Amino acid sequence: MMDLPDGFLTVDPDLWEDRHDYKLASETVRLLKVVNDHAERGVALIQEYSGFITQDELQLQFLLQVVNEHRRVYPDSRKQTLSGQP
């Protein structure tokens, strides 16, 4: 997927530290920025609705479930999507 060298995978892991291909792959992976889109969407959803409509925690949890389901059913606001027609 990332076209990283993987020749070191066939060698004893105790020897990896001495291999150039391992060092290159390790450095590339170390510099990757990890993103958890699902969690970030959840946080954004809570920030958007927290305290806006209700201060009651139970009502907020219900509201978040409703909004999440609505976003799943209607992923965009195109007329075709909203009308349910193919």
Question: Given this model, what pLDDT does residue 1 score?
Answer: 56
The burial of 21, by beta-carbon neighbours within 10 Å (0-12 exposed, 13-18 middle, 19 or more buried), is given as middle
Per-residue pLDDT of 28-68, as tens digits, reads 989 888 777 888 887 887 777 777 777 788 888 888 899 88
Residue 81 identity (one-letter amino acid)? T
pTM of structure: 0.41
Q: Is the dihedral of CA 69, 73, 77, 82 positive or negative?
A: negative
Confidence of residue 79 (pLDDT cuts 50, 70, 90): confident
Query: How much of the chain, in percent, has pLDDT values that exceed 70?
Result: 93
Alpha-carbon gap, residue 54 to 8, rounded angstroms: 56
Q: Which of 60, 39, 43, 42 is nearest to 51 (CA)?
A: 60
The span from the CA of 58 to the CA of 62, in Å, is: 6
Residue count of the chain, please give it.
86
